[in-house]
């Protein structure tokens, strides 16, 4: 069979380098380190990119998939750097990027009945390998927030809502996903559960009433704990309250220096 032309390696004369080029939204099985069960198998949505020098017409998209297949069943946080290095080498790039977004499940007990249920948390891992290596881990954690103003001015009850707290961290040392989630959950008016009996609902609503939080309170509380965590070098924390009596969300963000 005659050799086929490599169109991607043809020269481009426009002298425009490309920062990121690759494949997006690949659904692929991965293995995540589980604090209690050693490993958890889940399915991630994966993006893979490299930079492209100005003189190359294109990159070889199939090589991204080949690299994934070479690590089938072995894609973990621990070998992400190895995969990025292979992307750089195979695609003749100076910088490689990989993003994995995946659901992570934790068994959680209700506060009174001790009924057990699985909570799902959306997690994301971003890795970049250029001259240096950089990994960012993010989690999205639902919490309950009860409005301090509503409690102060109302003679009966106070409005509350579900809040989504997103935390992204750069780790100097390894931190468990479970520990990062627990840190965030401790900063709302009350946690969110997948299974609650009546006695649990009473306990959770009373806990929230005794611990009112504005969206500003939540991001500040998370910031205090992240600053005190020796494993964390940098962080960004966002909170969105899906207001129950307003036709808008409340939002706050803090990013470390």
Render pLDDT for 38-96 as a digit per residue (tens, 0 to 9): 999 999 999 999 999 888 888 899 999 999 999 987 888 888 999 999 999 999 999 99
Instruction: Note the pLDDT of residue 39.
Output: 92
Q: Residue 46's CB: how many other CB atoms inside 10 A?
A: 21
117-167 pLDDT, tens digit per residue, is 999 999 999 999 999 999 999 999 999 999 999 999 999 999 999 999 999
Among candidate residues 106, 94, 98, the one with its CA nearest the CA of residue 53: 94
The tally of CA atoms less than 13 A away on the side-chain side of residue 98 is 26
- The CATH code of the domain at 1-109 is 3.10.270.10
Question: Is the pLDDT score of 5 beyond 90?
Answer: no
- The CATH code of the domain at 136-257 is 3.10.270.10
Domain residue limits, the chain = 1-109, 136-257
Residues 6 or more apart in contact with residue 57 via CB below 8 angstroms:
7, 8, 9, 10, 11, 12
Give the residue carrying structure tokens 């294109």: 58
* Two domains, one topology: 1-109 and 136-257: yes
38-52 and 96-109 beta bridge pairing? antiparallel
């Amino acid at each position: 069979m005659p050799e086929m032309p490599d169109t991607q390696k043809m020269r481009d004369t426009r002298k425009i380098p490309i920062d990121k080029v690759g494949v997006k939204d690949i659904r692929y099985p991965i293995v995540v380190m589980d604090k209690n069960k050693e490993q958890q198998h889940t399915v991630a949505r994966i993006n893979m990119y490299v930079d492209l020098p100005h003189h190359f017409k294109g990159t070889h998209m199939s090589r991204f998939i080949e690299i994934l297949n070479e690590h089938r069943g072995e894609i973990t946080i621990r070998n992400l750097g190895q995969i990025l290095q292979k992307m750089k080498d195979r695609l003749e790039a100076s910088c490689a990027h990989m993003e994995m977004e995946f659901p992570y499940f934790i068994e959680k007990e209700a506060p009174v009945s001790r009924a057990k249920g699985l909570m799902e948390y959306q997690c994301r891992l971003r890795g970049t390998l250029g001259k240096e290596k950089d990994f960012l881990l993010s989690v999205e954690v639902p919490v309950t927030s009860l409005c301090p103003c509503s409690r102060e001015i109302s003679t009966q009850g106070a409005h509350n809502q579900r809040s989504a707290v997103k935390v992204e961290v750069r780790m100097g040392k390894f931190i468990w996903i479970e520990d990062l989630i627990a840190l965030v959950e401790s900063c709302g008016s009350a946690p969110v559960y997948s299974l609650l009996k009546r006695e649990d609902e009473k306990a959770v609503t009373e806990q929230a009433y005794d611990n009112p939080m504005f969206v500003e309170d939540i991001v500040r509380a998370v910031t205090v704990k992240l600053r005190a965590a020796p494993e964390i070098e940098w962080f960004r924390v966002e909170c969105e309250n899906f207001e129950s009596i307003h036709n808008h969300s409340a939002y706050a963000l803090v990013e470390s220096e």
